[in-house]
């Protein structure tokens, strides 16, 4: 039975990795893998020898055990854990879309006050590092590449800057509990606390982006000047919605520390606040547009694009734009990994790894693997491998390795894939020009992490 479930998992995962070759969205094999794995367990309950629960650990099943009750209990437990993560992500995605509804991210362009490429490099890297720690690294990459398109006309220049954005966005997401799906999983799964994660990973992640940026600042593509474009008018509510949205997302771990309630409750509170303000601002804009149409006053809107937004409900609009395929993909992956965990396969593998090569070396390998394999299932599996207490070094190393290792190849992270699509960056161009910088950053941050852990 265990072999059958493993084969289903590997078959599903192979289909996910070969998504583009098969022309099949990765959520489909993820959902099939999830359902078929649990169906196989249900049909083969009598053949199962070992079972794992977080309360009892790994134990041998006997004829006296109510196996169907164990199965249902495991399903409910895994679904509860997965639902917390998914609801959290849905809330965060909706807040980001509400900010974007008011063109809030256009405000970030105002931070660029230079026409020197080297200075722009540091500004963009810093923005990517900070922004991705608050919103996810995928959105941060999209926002910054969109800004780059308005600043740099040369495509080759943008590819170089996009490479640094990928490294910085992945590094920024690694030290924040709200910056990457994997760190969110570790945080919600009570493997790390927000305070300790930031304390232990902030500086290694800073090395991870600082080393490549420092080296890149001496490379030819980042020398010279560029012509600053003329300033464009922005939505009158862009700034308030940007700062409100980012501030309310930051408030989520603060509420968790103050109340010890699950993070998804804090995210729902933040969403409610941002949505309320968005509704109020939209009604105000609608009233101003109607007044203008009646000729009662001059057009108060600074951008004609505002007229097209004020007749929509911002919350419904934002909810319609969240990435439901990604949500369903995470559901399939996390529940499929839960099946392997319940069978005891993952914990047994973790014990074997610890006995033969050690946890730290294995986690570093996991970082390199995340450049090829999606880091969500890697982290989900690793969470079931080790029995270390909350905030143990291994959990922080997993957060760092899985988050930053994806920068080694352009296909290794969501940030890399979206940059590849937006700027048409060739795989081998990134491998020759950027991967070595990402590798130096990854190794530099890893070295600092171990030095830090000694002291």
Could you read off the pLDDT of 100-138 as tens digits, one per residue? Answer: 888 888 888 777 777 888 999 999 999 999 989 988 788
CB 5 within 8 A of CB 343: yes
- Whether 250 is in a domain gets the answer yes
| Per-residue confidence (pLDDT) for residue 347, from 0 to 100 | 78
For 89, phi then psi, to 5°, come to -65, -40
- β-pairing verdict for 57-60 and 50-53: antiparallel
**Weakly modelled stretches of the chain, pLDDT under 70:** 230-234, 288-311, 455
- Whether 148 is in a domain gets the answer yes
CA distance 299 to 337: 56
DSSP 113: -
| Per-residue confidence (pLDDT) for residue 232, from 0 to 100 | 66
- Whether 245 is in a domain gets the answer yes
CB 306 within 8 A of CB 101: no
pLDDT in tens, 222-266: 998 887 776 666 678 888 999 999 899 989 888 888 888 888 999
For 60, phi then psi, to 5°, come to -90, 130
- Whether 240 is in a domain gets the answer yes
CA distance 153 to 136: 27
Q: What is the DSSP track for 28-81?
A: HHHHHHHHHHHHHHHHTGGG--EEEETTTEEEE--TTS-HHHHHHHHHHHHHHH
Question: Which domain does 134 fall in, by range?
Answer: 77-455
CA distance 351 to 358: 9
Q: What is the DSSP track for 155-209?
A: HHHHHHHHHHHHHHHHHHHHTSTTSSHHHHHHHHTTSS-HHHHHHHHHHHHHHHH
CA terminus-to-terminus distance, the chain: 46
- Whether 159 is in a domain gets the answer yes
CA distance 248 to 271: 8
**Alpha carbon of 294 to those of 180, 243, 299, 309, 384: distances in Å?**
48, 33, 11, 19, 64
- Whether 432 is in a domain gets the answer yes
Burial of 64 (0-12, 13-18, 19+ CB in 10 A): exposed
CA distance 60 to 348: 13
| Per-residue confidence (pLDDT) for residue 337, from 0 to 100 | 84
| Per-residue confidence (pLDDT) for residue 291, from 0 to 100 | 57
Number of H helices, E strands in the chain: 21, 2
DSSP 374: -
Number of folded domains in the chain? 1
CA 268 centroid distance within chain: 18
Which residues 6+ apart lie within 8 Å of 407 measured at CB?
166, 167, 170, 171, 208, 371, 413, 415, 416, 438, 441, 442
- Whether 18 is in a domain gets the answer no
- Whether 11 is in a domain gets the answer no
CA distance 261 to 253: 10
**Alpha carbon of 418 to those of 89, 135, 145: distances in Å?**
19, 15, 10
As given in the structure block, the two tokens for residue 240 are 């308030």
Residue with tokens 């690793």, as numbered in its chain: 382
CB 390 within 8 A of CB 191: yes
| Per-residue confidence (pLDDT) for residue 53, from 0 to 100 | 81
CB 182 within 8 A of CB 402: yes
CA distance 423 to 163: 10
| Per-residue confidence (pLDDT) for residue 292, from 0 to 100 | 56
| Per-residue confidence (pLDDT) for residue 47, from 0 to 100 | 86
| Maximal CA-CA distance, the chain | 82
As given in the structure block, the two tokens for residue 158 are 């943008």
């Amino acid at each position: 039975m265990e072999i059958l479930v493993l084969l289903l998992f590997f078959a599903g995962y192979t289909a996910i990795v070969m998504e583009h070759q098969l022309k099949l969205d990765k959520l489909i094999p993820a959902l099939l893998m999830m359902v078929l794995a649990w169906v196989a367990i249900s049909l083969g309950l009598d053949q199962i020898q070992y079972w794992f629960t977080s309360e009892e650990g790994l134990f041998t099943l006997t004829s006296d055990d109510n196996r169907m009750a164990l199965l249902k209990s495991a399903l409910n437990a895994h679904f509860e854990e997965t639902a917390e993560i998914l609801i959290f992500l849905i809330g965060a995605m909706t807040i980001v879309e509400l900010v974007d509804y008011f063109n809030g991210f256009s405000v970030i362009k105002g931070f660029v006050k230079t026409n020197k490429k080297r200075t722009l490099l540091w500004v963009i890297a810093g923005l990517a590092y900070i922004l991705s720690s608050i919103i996810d690294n995928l959105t941060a990459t999209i926002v910054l590449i969109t800004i780059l398109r308005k600043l740099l006309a040369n495509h080759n220049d943008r590819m170089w800057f996009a490479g640094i954005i990928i490294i910085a966005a992945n590094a920024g997401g690694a030290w924040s509990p709200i910056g990457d799906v994997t760190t969110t999983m570790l945080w919600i799964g009570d493997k790390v606390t927000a305070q300790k994660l930031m304390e232990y990973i902030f500086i290694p992640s800073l090395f991870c982006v600082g080393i490549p940026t420092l080296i890149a600042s001496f490379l030819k593509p980042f020398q010279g000047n560029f012509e600053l474009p003329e300033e464009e008018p922005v939505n009158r509510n862009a700034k308030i919605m940007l700062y409100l949205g980012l501030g309310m997302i930051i408030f989520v771990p603060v509420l968790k520390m103050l109340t010890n309630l699950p993070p998804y409750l804090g995210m729902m509170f933040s969403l409610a606040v941002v949505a309320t303000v968005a509704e109020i601002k939209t009604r105000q804009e609608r009233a101003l547009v109607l007044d203008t149409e009646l000729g009662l006053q001059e057009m108060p809107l600074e951008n004609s694009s505002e007229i097209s937004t004020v007749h929509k409900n911002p919350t419904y609009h934002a909810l319609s734009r969240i990435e439901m395929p990604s949500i369903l993909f995470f559901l399939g992956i996390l529940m499929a990994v839960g099946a392997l965990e319940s069978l005891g396969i993952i914990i047994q593998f973790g014990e074997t790894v610890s006995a033969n090569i050690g946890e730290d070396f294995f986690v570093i390998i996991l970082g390199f693997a995340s450049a090829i394999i999606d880091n969500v299932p890697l982290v989900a599996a690793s969470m079931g491998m080790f029995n270390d207490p909350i905030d143990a070094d291994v959990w922080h190393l997993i957060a760092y390795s899985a988050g930053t290792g994806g920068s080694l190849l352009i296909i290794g992270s969501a940030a890399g894939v979206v940059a590849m699509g937006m700027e048409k960056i060739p795989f081998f161009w990134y491998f020759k020009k950027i991967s070595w910088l990402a590798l130096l950053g990854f190794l530099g941050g890893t070295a600092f992490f171990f030095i830090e852990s000694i002291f």
